[in-house]
Amino acid sequence: MNVDLTGFVALLRREILRFVRRPRNTFVPPFITNVLYFSVFGVILGERIDQIAGVRYILFILPGLIVLGAVSNAFENASFSIFHGRWNRYIEEALTSPLSYTSMVGAYILASATRGLVVGVLIALIGAFFTAVGVAKPFYLVAFMLVITLLFASIGVVGGLWAEDWDDLTMMNQFILRPLVFFGGVFYSLNEIPELFRQASLLNPMIYMVNGVRFGFLGVTEVDPNLSLGILSGLTLAIVGIDIALFRRGYGLTD
Amino acid sequence: MASAIEIRNLTKSYGDVTALDGVDLDVPEGSFFGLLGPNGAGKTTFINILVGLVRKSGGTATVFGYDVEDDYREARDLIGLAPQEFNVDKFFPIQEILETKAGYHGIPRDVARERAEEVLKRVGIYDKRDTRFDWLSGGMKRRFMLARALITDPDLLILDEPTAGVDVQLRHELWETIIDLNDKGTTILLTTHYIEEAERLCDEVAILDSGRIIEVASPEELMDRGTDDIVVQLRDEPTAIPDFAADDDRVESVELDGTRLVVTAQQGGLVAPDVVQALDDAGHEIVDLEISRTSLEEVFVEMTRQGEGRATMEVDQ
């Protein structure tokens, strides 16, 4: 294995082991939350709601819940890991090494996206416990899941570098990420809200992610999946580029 | 001799505060080099520029010929750093931290494991290998900081206050380890508050004060600039003594208190035989003689005193 790859793998391994060895902090919370979501929204409320977009309500919300869990975890992992490393200064172990800035950013993003994907699969399994789940468009499902977890991991890197305090991390998660997801068509169809709100919703990038993953599972969508995938991929590449530039500049990392 | 570190006109400012103000310095390859200075002199800033934790404002800095910014990967690969502040991963046991750090430097996992075991044994905390850093005692934490700096087998070992807060026995053990590394060719850059440490270990020291290098010399050369006291105990109280100051311009003062004579002179060790000879010639019987050598600390305090008032702000980090 060459020197660059060894360094990259060492950081990637460290980042993955960090969340794998702490399941109580990383996998148990989304497990409990999603069991509650499926029980309350899917089963108790869902049985009183008519079909949406031609499917049962529990199946309609499943892709949204997967997106919610996957992107939250991808974002939280990158932002927490980088900020915790800065706060306790052990990120200097990597910064003072010969790792290239691209390798550092790559390892943080890939590990965080992996956590997002694992949580996504976990939520799908919980959903499968409550109802039969099929995959109509596997390619789109995989492609959207990859892109959105990478995108939110790369946004998490910016968050981890930008945060000055633990409150900043909480704020980003509670006041920015969560409202975007909840107004991103997880629990309702765009066709069922007034036109003004529908148009406003189209500005929310989460709409495209939720609909993309829903297209993967159900084969139905309210927006063009190819266009969504293209825009999200472009956005991901741009933010990864910003991450690398920030590391190179030492933003939040060096004096 | 080639330079392990070559610094030219290095500057670093934090807003209006100048931490480094045009530093020029050469640290020869294979040397044991001390960087001394009061708090806020710029020592940690200087070190952090070399490893990429602080961005310089101007000038150049190279490590074994590699520019610390343009060739940062090569430069960082050659440096092992044991910083003053603990900055160790909280999540993993210490052996795993060492293996990961080695991995960052491109060392394959099987080799990294062997090396981690070896350095943990070398610093004497192998039996704590499965413990997390936070659970180690203060002394063990210092040992670990050295182990982590050594895991990549660096050509340049930078030790920022390596023995701060450790007991005398551990300090001596750490010294032995470092001396052994230097004997095997590792260049060492040491910052310390313990002047005794610099005096014992360093071939050469630079004195940094308010962001400027005010002196570079060997500890011996610096000590020669201070004065020693030659304390002579005479059997009988003399009525008159030879005029030492007139005969030797190295002598700065002579004090007689009953039978106790104190001659203060530069290079006291060289002046003492002349003093003894002159007293003997004058018929005075000497019952005891002691030379109280100046310490590097006294010279250091004297040299940095002029900078007092300027170094009021702690700008390290």
The answer to whether residue B306 sits within a structural domain is no
Q: Domain span at residue A56?
A: 3-249
Is A28 inside a domain boundary? yes
Of B45, B87, B91, the CB nearest to A18: B91
Q: State the Cα–Cα distance between residues B149 and B190, nearest whole angstrom.
A: 13
Domain end among B191, B222, B253 = B222
Average pLDDT over residues A70-93: 96
Would A38 be classed as within a structural domain? yes
Shared domain check, B190 and B41: yes
Average pLDDT over residues A35-52: 82
Question: Residue A255 falls within a domain, yes or no?
Answer: no
B104 close to A (CB below 8 A):
yes
Can you give the residue range of the structural domain that contains B181?
Answer: 3-222
Q: Where are the alpha helices (DSSP H) in A21-56?
A: 23-26, 28-37
Of B144, B141, B88, B127, nearest to A14 by C-alpha is B88
Q: Which of A73-87, A180-194, B128-142, B196-210 has the lowest mean pLDDT?
A: A180-194
Give the nearest partner residue to A90 out of B76, B89, B317, using CB atoms: B89
Contact A7 B88 (CB under 8 A): no
Instruction: Report percent pLDDT > 70 for chain B.
Output: 96
Whether residue B282 is contained in a domain is answered as: yes
- The last residue of one of the domains, among B187, B222, B257, is B222
CA–CA dist B151, B116 (Å, integer): 6
pLDDT band, residue B310 (cuts 50/70/90):
very low
- Predicted confidence band of residue B238 (pLDDT cuts 50, 70, 90): confident
Same structural domain for residues B56 and B162? yes
Q: Write out chain B residues lying below 8 Å of A89, CB-based.
A: 85-87
**What is the per-residue DSSP string for A168-191?**
HHHHIIIIIIHHHHHTTTSSS-GG
Mean pLDDT value of segment A63-87: 95
The answer to whether residues B146 and B207 belong to one domain is yes
pLDDT tens-digit map of B133-155: 999 999 999 999 999 999 999 99
Angle between helices A28-37 and A101-130 (to 10 degrees): 40
Range in B205-209, B278-282, B302-306 the model is least confident about: B302-306
- Reply yes or no on whether the pLDDT at A136 is more than 80: yes
As for how many domains chain A has, the answer is 1
What is the C-alpha separation between B25 and B6, in angstroms, rounded? 6
Q: What is the mean pLDDT of chain A?
A: 91
Q: Which of A28, A121, A136, A142 is nearest to A70 (CA)?
A: A121
Same domain, B129 and B258: no
Q: Could you tell me the two tokens for A44? A: 């108790």
Q: What is the pTM of this model?
A: 0.87
Question: What Å distances lie between residue A246 and A61, A99, A168, A250, B211, CA to CA?
Answer: 37, 15, 18, 6, 28
- The residue of B50, B90, B104, B132 whose CB has the most chain A CBs within 10 angstroms, and thus the best one to mutate to test that interface, is B104
Residue B138, domain CATH: 3.40.50.300
Q: In this structure, what are the phi and psi dihedrals at residue B68, rounded to the nearest 5 degrees? A: -70, -15
Q: Is A133 exposed, middle or buried (0-12, 13-18, 19+ CB in 10 A)?
A: middle
Is A73 exposed, middle or buried (CB count within 10 Å of its CB: 0-12, 13-18, 19+)?
A: buried
- The total number of residues shown for chain B amounts to 317
User: Is B72 in the same domain as B55?
Assistant: yes
- Please state the rounded mean pLDDT for residues A120-146: 94
Q: What is the mean pLDDT of residues A47-69?
A: 85
Q: pLDDT tens digits for A175-211?
A: 888 888 888 888 888 888 888 888 888 888 888 999 9
Note whether B215 and B261 are same-domain residues. Answer: no
Neighbours of B289 (CB within 10 A): 14
Percent with pLDDT over 90 in chain A: 66
**DSSP SS3 for A91:** coil
Look at residue A1 and tell me whether its pLDDT is greater than 70: no
Cβ-Cβ contacts under 8 Å, B72 against chain A:
98
Chain A residue whose CA is closest to B73: A98
User: Mean pLDDT, to the nearest integer, of A23-42?
Assistant: 90
* Chain A CB within 8 Å of residue B160 CB: no
- How far apart CA B69 and CA A231 sit, in angstroms, is 35
Tell me the two tokens of residue A40. 């309350």
Q: Using pLDDT thresholds of 50, 70 and 90, give the confidence band for residue B304.
A: confident
| B316 belongs to a structural domain | no
Which CATH number belongs to the domain containing residue B282 in this structure? 3.30.70
Average pLDDT over residues A55-80: 92
Do residues B114 and B259 share a domain?
Answer: no
Q: Is A221 helix (H, G, I), strand (E, B) or coil?
A: coil
Structure letter (DSSP) for residue A192? G
Q: Are strands B79-82 and B227-234 parallel, antiparallel or unpaired?
A: unpaired
Tokens (6 digits) for B97: 């931290």
* Shortest CA gap B273–chain A (Å): 54
Q: Is the dihedral of CA B247, B249, B251, B256 positive or negative?
A: positive
Q: What is the model's pLDDT at position B20?
A: 95
Whether residue A225 lies inside any domain: the answer is yes
Average pLDDT, chain B: 89
Specify the amino acid at residue B106. Answer: G
A23 has a chain B CB within 8 A of its CB: no
Of B222, B246, B264, which closes a domain? B222
User: B94 vs B37, which has greater pLDDT?
Assistant: B94
Say whether both B148 and B285 belong to one domain: no
Instruction: With a cut of 90, say whether residue B241 has pLDDT above it.
Output: no
pLDDT of residue B308: 56
Catalogue the long-range contacts made by A20-25 (C-beta closer than 8 Å, 24 or more residues apart). Answer: A21/B91, A22/B91
Is A85 inside a domain boundary?
yes
Question: Which of B12-26, B92-106, B211-225 shows the lowest per-residue confidence on average (mean pLDDT)?
Answer: B211-225
Q: What gap in Å lies between CA B149 and CA B47, rounded to an integer? A: 14
State whether A96 and B76 contact (CB < 8 Å).
yes
Interface of B with A in 274-293 (CB under 8 A): none
Looking at the structure, do residues B144 and B279 belong to the same domain, yes or no? no
Is the same domain home to B208 and B261?
Answer: no
Q: How far apart are CA B220 and CA B293, in angstroms?
A: 11
CA distance B210 to A44: 71
pLDDT at B181: 95
Alpha-carbon distance B29 to B182, whole Å? 10
Q: Is residue B238 part of a domain?
A: yes
Q: What is the 3-state secondary structure (H, E, C) of chain B?
A: CCEEEEEEEEEEEECCEEEEEEEEEEEECCCEEEEECCCCCCHHHHHHHHHCCCCCCEEEEEECCEECCCCHHHHHHCEEEECCCCCCCCCCEHHHHHHHHHHHCCCCHHHHHHHHHHHHHHCCCHHHCCCEHHHCCHHHHHHHHHHHHHCCCCCEEEEECCCCCCCHHHHHHHHHHHHHHHHCCCEEEEECCCHHHHHHHCCEEEEEECCEEEEEECHHHHHHCCEEEEEEEECCCCCCCCCHHHHCCCEEEEEEECCEEEEEEECHHHHHHHHHHHHHHCCCCEEEEEEECCCHHHHHHHHHHCCCCCCCCCCCC
State the total domains in chain B.
Answer: 2
Tokens at residue A149, please?
């977890």
Q: In Å, how far are A64, A220, A241, B106 from A238, measured between CA atoms?
A: 25, 29, 5, 29
Whether B132 and B183 map to the same domain: the answer is yes
pLDDT digit string, tens, across residues B44-72: 999 999 999 999 999 999 999 999 999 99
The verdict on B111 and B129 lying in the same domain is yes
Q: Can you give the pLDDT at residue B315?
A: 39
Q: Is residue A45 part of a domain?
A: yes
Q: How high is the ipTM of this complex?
A: 0.90
Q: Alpha-carbon distance B284 to B235, whole Å?
A: 8
Q: Do A7 and B106 touch (CB under 8 A)?
A: yes
Q: Is the pLDDT of residue B301 over 90?
A: no
For the record, the structure tokens of A161 come out as 């570098």
Residues of B in contact with A11 (CB under 8 A): 100, 103-104
Does residue B240 surpass a pLDDT of 50? yes
pLDDT of residue A16: 97
In whole angstroms, what is the distance from residue B14 CA to residue A249 CA? 16
